[in-house]
Amino acid sequence: MTITHSSGSSVMSADDVLSVRNLGVWFDQGGTHVPAVQDVSLRVARGETLALVGESGSGKSVTSLGILGLLPQGRACTVRGEVQLHRKNGQVIDLLKQPEEDMRRIRGGEVAMIFQEPMTSFNPVKTIGAQVMEAILCHHDVGRRAARTRAAELLRLVGIADPVKRLDDYPHEMSGGMRQRAMIAMAISCEPRLLIADEPTTALDVTVQAQILALLRKIQEQSAMAMIFITHNLGVVGQVADRVMVMYNGRVAEEAPTHSLFLKPRMPYTSGLLRSVPRLADLGAGGLDELPAIRGYVPDPLNPPPGCAFAPRCDFRVAGQCDIAIPEMVTCDVDHRVRCIRWQEIETGLQGEPA
């Protein structure tokens, strides 16, 4: 079965696990439909990691929650588009059209998620073991003894010492790094085809962060699991991602293979994010006094600027052009797409002037 992506850049092949086309999410605020995500299209293949990058409020987490059907039901939230999942049995289904009963079997069993903050994601009055076992019992026809054995194996796999004893710990009895490992154990307990990791290392120190990233890479190599990695940390992206999708104000601003994006970004917003990452080369004699920052703030979804949402903050803005219409996503290189009318000038080294 082949399914054409809305971007027209590729088709869903046997290796593709997820294909999202024109995903849009609107929240109701006092009778007004406020867009949180608009026209997001993406795909992820087996064994591939796609990073979603952007500032807080750019729509990264809402995109992931929309994919899994975890947003509020009813009039409070409207979700449109197409989210096609290539299941373990070979069937291709649209997740947005599945009844909630079927989605409960898909979540965890086919698609799993690591949430941002494990302390608030775990139930504080249940032991870690009970919560990991719950996922196993829900998706596999096994008894509690077998589920507990499997839960201990998972804790051992993610590097938790004395896993049998730790099964009886409550979330508050574990450190942040251990809770994150336990969250990963629960997420991979049913060997999902796709793992969505939402800021899995944000609250961790750099040593634990490196361990978690190495663990995720190891699990992915062993199972060929696809992964969507959500973060604002471009340093982490360089370590884990095959491709990067930069989001701004609920839309995709740029998408490219990781090495291509880092080497030659075509969108001013992406360039600003990359410049804000500290580098060892800047720490020598005559280094930077302070890191460059993108001026201004993310626009208010209730009152977005006309035209390009990034224009008010952009040094390359052209009055009368950038503030008229939202730029279309265009293909500027192999597997490299960008939403900017001046990407060709930027590519040739044109220097922007403050708007």
pLDDT-based confidence at residue 235 (cuts at 50, 70, 90):
confident
Q: How confident is the model at residue 3 (pLDDT cuts 50, 70, 90)?
A: very low
At 212, list the tokens.
């978690």
What's the chain's average pLDDT? Answer: 87
Angle ∠(130,132,138) on CA atoms, nearest 5: 95
pTM attached to this predicted model? 0.88
Residue 277 has pLDDT above 80, yes or no: no
Contact predicate 76/49, CB 8 Å:
no
Nearest to 15 by CA among 41, 40, 42, 47: 47
The mean per-residue pLDDT over the stretch 4-33 comes to 76
204 pLDDT above the threshold of 90: no
Least confident of 16-20, 268-272, 277-281: 277-281
Q: Domains in the chain and their CATH numbers?
A: 16-110+193-278 (3.40.50.300), 120-191 (no CATH)
pLDDT at position 215 is 86
Higher local confidence (pLDDT), 208 or 174: 174
Q: Where are the beta strands (DSSP E) in the chain?
A: 16-29, 32-45, 49-53, 77-86, 92-94, 111-114, 194-198, 226-231, 243-248, 251-257, 330-333, 336-338
The residue ranking higher by pLDDT, 127 or 159, is 127
SS3 113: strand
- Residue 332 to residue 260: CA distance in whole angstroms: 11
pLDDT-derived band of residue 5, with 50, 70 and 90 as boundaries?
A: very low
Q: End-to-end CA distance of the chain, in Å? A: 49
pLDDT at 202: 72
- AA letter at 56: S
d(C-alpha 263, C-alpha 296), whole Å: 25
- Whole-number pLDDT of residue 1: 27
Q: Is the pLDDT of residue 47 over 90?
A: yes
Asked if 37 contacts 24 with a C-beta cutoff of 8 angstroms, the reply is yes
State the pLDDT at residue 147.
Answer: 95
> Taking residues 323-347, what's their average pLDDT?
89
- Closest listed residue to residue 293, CA positions, set 306, 275, 310: 275
Residues 114 and 120 sit within 8 Å (Cβ to Cβ): no
| pLDDT of residue 12 exceeding 50 | yes
Query: Phi then psi for 267, rounded to 5 degrees?
Result: -105, 130
Residue 82 pLDDT more than 60? yes
